[in-house]
Amino acid sequence: MSSTDSKDRRVVFLDRDGVLNVDRYLTYRLGQLELVDGAVEGLSLLQALGFEFIIVTNQSAIGRGLYLEEDMHCFNEELCARLEESGIRITDVFFCPHDPVFGLGDYKRDCACRKPNPGMFFEAADKHDLELSKCYHIGDKRVDVMAGFNAGCRTILVETGILDDEHKYPGVSPDIRVKDLPKAAQVIAGELALERMRDRDVFVPPFDSSICAKLLGDHRGRSTRPRVKSVRGAS
């Protein structure tokens, strides 16, 4: 892959349970597999914009002995196959099976890959030659937000999962919070359009970012990291 290709390549990292498939708390049986409403619609829009998809998922129940890695792989394969039937291609899947407290044997490990640590993102970036600052991470929990922050990605929280970890990450907010994947895709499309306008120097100065927020339905959340300054044209 050339340096130009790498620079232009865009990836959306996706949490699995609660973002792509309905979260059943302990989700590994094929009979539990149900796509989240709007998942295909949202991914189709993003794919049309040129984005690729990589799944990054904590699966600590493996480490706790509640199901096997083979069970998870079978579930992931069926999930990807169902998305493929709708024209959605998943580039890769990364998972963390470790649990630093309740893990059994080698699975009891304080690892770098368990979200909110960014190890899975770094591994994906090395494998696929990605610039993480140009990537998004979409998740349904605060731990996903923290992982995206730590990896240097732009973070989106969707409200289609089980948001049960707010008490663990007080004050942590995503860059963007929306109802579902279609809304996330619309916001990303808007941001991508603004970026391309900026790159082509077509803004009419002064550029008012509040107008864009209103056009996008004011989906932006608060961030615990410094914001990127609004782009302004020459005075």
| Buried b or exposed e, range 203-218, using 16+ CB within 10 angstroms | eeeeeeeeebeeebee
198: left (phi over 0), alpha (psi -120 to 50) or beta: alpha
Annotated active-site residue in 5, 8, 15, 218: 15
Annotated active-site residue in 17, 23, 99, 175: 17
Query: Are 56 and 15 spatial neighbours (Cβ–Cβ below 8 Å)?
Result: yes
3-class secondary-structure state, position 101: coil
Q: Is the dihedral of CA 15, 139, 123, 132 positive or negative?
A: positive
Catalytic residue list contains 8: no
Catalytic residue list contains 17: yes
3-class secondary-structure state, position 123: helix
Active site residues: 15, 17
